[in-house]
Amino acid sequence: MFYDDPADYSRIRFGDVLKGFILATPTIEEPIIIDKQHNYQVDVNLPYLSAILSPCCSIQEKAKDGIIVVSPLIRIRASFFDNPYFKEDLTRINRMMEPEQAVLPSVWEKLSKEEQSKRKAKGSSYALLELFIYQEHEQLPEYEMSNARHEIIKTKSYMIDFRNTFKVSCEDLKRNKEKLLAAKPLQLSVVVRKELRDKIAFYYGRAPEEDEILLKA
């Protein structure tokens, strides 16, 4: 089960879907480090739905400042449906997979035997590292998109991008929780919440090759 049904409305948790959070993105031409006039802009938007990326323990009563980190739910890519392994179950993107499953069959077949063996030797891993898919649900609005063949695809699946995160300070987190919980349409199951935790930990926990070399020295 992807979502808990019914959800636990006594608290909010990591991975929960929430409505009504305003998000702002600043854009600058250069770092503001010298005393001169700078050009910048701040884009403010109100996405229909966002997912909480703050750890559960940081959200509870001890979070006196009412700060959480969220990521807006955005539309998935039509190209996902070109991969038969993804098309069968889009949430497979959330979990580790074999290297030949991460690419289109036509792409895999064009790789040299040496390259295929090299990738297989590395074993299963994550694909689309920065993305996590939220499965279709009646609480999620349906939308359509078209693929490269101009076929219309209808879906209620969404995704979050770990690079697209925002800090939000909400007074209701420390005072009127009743209102906040009214804005919670969906809650991940324990198993899926672990999948989200595992993938985001892998995304942020990767060490670059040059660091690995020094750490092993």
pLDDT in tens, 133-176: 999 999 999 999 998 888 899 999 999 999 999 998 887 776 66
Q: Is 11 a domain residue?
A: no
> What does pLDDT average to over the chain?
89
Nearest C-alpha neighbor of 135 from the set 88, 198, 174, 199:
88
CB atoms within 10 A of CB 167: 11
Nearest C-alpha neighbor of 161 from the set 136, 209, 190, 196:
196
Nearest C-alpha neighbor of 76 from the set 96, 93, 55:
93
- Token couple for 106: 């036509």
Q: Which domain holds residue 128?
A: 17-205
Measured in residues, the chain has a length of 217
Q: Is 181 a domain residue?
A: yes
Q: Is 3 a domain residue?
A: no
Strands (E), 92-205: 131-134, 143-146, 152-155, 158-161, 166-169
Nearest C-alpha neighbor of 14 from the set 48, 63, 86:
63
Q: Is 7 a domain residue?
A: no
Q: Is 216 a domain residue?
A: no
Number of structural domains the chain divides into? 1
What does the pLDDT look like over 90-139, one tens digit per residue? Answer: 999 999 999 999 999 999 999 999 999 999 998 999 999 999 999 999 99
Q: Is 214 a domain residue?
A: no
Q: Which residue has the higher pLDDT, 208 or 203?
A: 203
Q: Is 170 a domain residue?
A: yes
* Residue indicated by tokens 């050009």: 39
Rg, C-alpha atoms of the chain: 20
Q: Is 32 a domain residue?
A: yes
Strands (E), 111-181: 131-134, 143-146, 152-155, 158-161, 166-169
Nearest C-alpha neighbor of 177 from the set 60, 14, 50:
60
